[in-house]
Amino acid sequence: GAVVSQHPSRVICKSGTSVKIECRSLDFQATTMFWYRQFPKKSLMLMATSNEGSKATYEQGVEKDKFLINHASLTLSTLTVTSAHPEDSSFYICSAWSGAGTFDEQFFGPGTRLTVL
Amino acid sequence: AQSVTQLDSQVPVFEEAPVELRCNYSSSVSVYLFWYVQYPNQGLQLLLKYLSGSTLVKGINGFEAEFNKSQTSFHLRKPSVHISDTAEYFCAVNSGGSNYKLTFGKGTLLTVNP
């Protein structure tokens, strides 16, 4: 199957700082990438959908100025958590879809554990 | 709108016993259905998917699921589980067409005991 990587796998930062998380599709071109947030012992919550070269579409209740998403190339999307606070601590997972043909599967990255002190 | 219900939040079983993890969905259109497994501190791995065709779908690690349209269900089964199957399992639905979003259930924690 297709491979999606995330970097870093784990990050600890101080409150008020910004953190960037990268999501890369390693062996295919991803027209569309998705960013999810997962709270402890909870399901995945879709935060936003990003299409290469255009602005991300955010789900209701997700602050777009807080969670900046950039999808500048067909293999890279970034999520920047701006002015992070302890409540932003979570597991962030990205996924990617090639966009070719009809939708059949998203390929998931391994996730990034963010801890804000 | 599409939604997924996983009725069991936790399922404890003994090693080599059979297991069924239940998933029901609601959607106003035809659906694509998925089961994912998540090990601690890892991302999601696809177990199997139903897009069309045979309603019995076989996946990796000996898992299978059956799509039942009349009961709007997609239950996951394995005839004999191993300790290594201990993980969180998520059912997800996509309504196809131009909608490529996945809606996830809340997950079922499968714990296999020796």
The count of C-alpha atoms lying within 13 angstroms of the C-alpha of A56, restricted to the half-sphere facing its C-beta, is 26
**Across B5-9, average pLDDT:** 93
What would the pLDDT profile of B16-62 be if each residue is shown by its tens digit? 999 999 999 987 777 889 999 999 878 889 999 998 889 999 999 99
Nearest to A99 by CA among A62, A40, A36, A54: A54
Across the interface, whether the CB atoms of A105 and B36 are under 8 A apart is answered no
Which residues of chain A neighbour B41 with C-beta distances below 8 Å? 91, 111, 113
CB B113 within 8 A of CB B11: no
Neighbours of B39 (CB within 10 A): 12
What pLDDT shows up at residue A41? 73
* Average of per-residue pLDDT across A71-93: 94
Predicted confidence at residue B108, as pLDDT, reads 96
- Our CA dihedral for A27, B47, B10, A115, rounded to 10 degrees, sits at 0
Rounded to a whole number of angstroms, the distance from the CA of A15 to the nearest CA of chain B is 23
d(CA B7, CA B27): 17
Tens digits of per-residue pLDDT, A22-59? 999 998 888 899 999 998 777 889 999 998 888 899 99
Q: How far is A81 from chain B (nearest CA, A)?
A: 19
Closest-CA distance, B78 to chain A, in angstroms, reads 22
Write the residue in B51, B97, B101 that is nearest to A49 by C-beta: B101
Is it the case that residue A92 has pLDDT exceeding 90? yes
* A-interface mutation test, from B44, B49, B99, most A Cβ less than 10 A away: B44
In terms of Cα–Cα distance, which of B47, B48, B66 is closest to B56?
B66
pLDDT in the model for residue B87: 96
Q: Which amino acid is at B72?
A: T
pLDDT score, position A103 = 65
User: What is the C-alpha to C-alpha distance for residues B33 and A72, in angstroms, rounded to an integer?
Assistant: 30
Mean per-residue pLDDT of chain B: 91
- pLDDT(B86) > 90: yes
Amino acid found at A61: G
β partners of residue B12 = B111
What does the block give as tokens for A58? 């955010």
